């Protein structure tokens, strides 16, 4: 039986950096070569279940999977009240990991348990849903009382790399950071998929009982509409990304009253106040 290596599952359970060494050769234009060792991130199928009923399989970095499951359930509107979760079981299985969320059936928003036709790839936030309504769900307008200052955003952006241990090794994973109003980074989660990183961060906020209206999210990725939907659904009022949003992401942010900004070298572009 081809079971996920114990070392990888240990990282999945503990939240340590999930990377492995890959040996290769560098070939330069002048014809010279050099042996090189790269750190590459783990990417593993993660099957998510609710009360042992399959929901979807996502490709993800197998770390902070409890955060991942809780965050995805909230961000996708499946569990509007994550405090009702009874338990989360992370189990190694053949070729991957299964994460099972135990919750009262009455707590589940059944309309959001959309059957996925294909697996969720690491770069995909909403793979395989079967109709347009499932992709573009209605959102409640946020009630915001403050907005991040440009100074706080730039302060957080300058220190973000210091809080990404996995990316320091492999330079190929996304980070999602929770930032205080004064620009202090309080939590970071990493993953090969930007959507996964945000789900993990949201799950971590839930488990730490942090007020999701008390700070903002800073992400190392572009801003797609799924990230906007996840933040709004989770009650997060402000999102900052390293590049400009898509037109759809901006439209959804405006209609939901989500503060949206993007980094531009040593400046901040505020797109929706």
Catalytic residues: 124
**Tokens for 61?**
């970095």
Q: Identify whether the C-beta of residue 64 lies closer than 8 Å to the C-beta of residue 57.
A: no
CA triplet 134, 137, 62: central angle to 5 degrees? 65
C-beta neighbour count of 132 within 10 angstroms: 7
**Tokens for 209?**
């009982």
Cα 248–chain centre separation? 19
- Run of H or E including 263: strand 259-264
The whole-angstrom separation of Cα 107 and Cα 101 is 12
**Tokens for 247?**
């037109």
Q: Identify whether the C-beta of residue 252 lies closer than 8 Å to the C-beta of residue 234.
A: no
The whole-angstrom separation of Cα 28 and Cα 234 is 47
Task: Tell me the backbone φ, ψ of residue 151, rounded to 5 degrees.
Answer: -65, -45
């Amino acid at each position: 039986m081809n079971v996920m290596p114990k070392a990888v599952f240990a990282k999945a359970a503990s939240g340590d950096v999930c990377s492995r060494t890959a040996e290769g050769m560098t070939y330069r234009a002048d014809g010279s070569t050099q042996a090189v060792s790269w750190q590459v991130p783990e990417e593993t199928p993660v099957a998510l279940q609710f009360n042992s009923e399959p929901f979807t399989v996502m490709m993800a970095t197998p770390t902070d999977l409890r955060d991942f499951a809780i965050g995805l359930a909230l961000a996708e509107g499946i569990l509007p009240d994550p405090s009702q979760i009874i338990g989360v079981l992370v189990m190694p299985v053949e070729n991957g990991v299964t994460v099972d969320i135990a919750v009262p059936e009455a707590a589940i928003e059944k309309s959001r348990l959309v059957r996925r036709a294909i697996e969720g790839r690491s770069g995909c936030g909403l793979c395989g849903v079967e109709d347009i309504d499932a992709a573009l769900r209605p959102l409640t307008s946020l009630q915001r009382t403050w907005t991040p200052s440009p100074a706080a955003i730039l302060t957080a952006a300058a220190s973000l790399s210091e809080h990404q241990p996995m990316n320091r090794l492999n330079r190929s994973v996304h980070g999602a950071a929770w930032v205080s109003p004064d620009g202090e980074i309080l939590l970071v989660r990493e993953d090969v998929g930007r959507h996964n990183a945000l789900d993990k961060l949201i799950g971590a906020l839930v488990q730490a009982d942090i007020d999701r209206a008390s700070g903002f999210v800073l992400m190392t990725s572009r801003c797609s509409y799924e990230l906007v939907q996840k933040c709004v659904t989770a009650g997060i009022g402000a999102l900052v990304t390293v590049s400009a949003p898509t037109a759809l992401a901006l439209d959804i942010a405006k209609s939901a009253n989500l503060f949206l900004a993007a980094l531009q070298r040593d400046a901040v572009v505020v797109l929706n106040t």
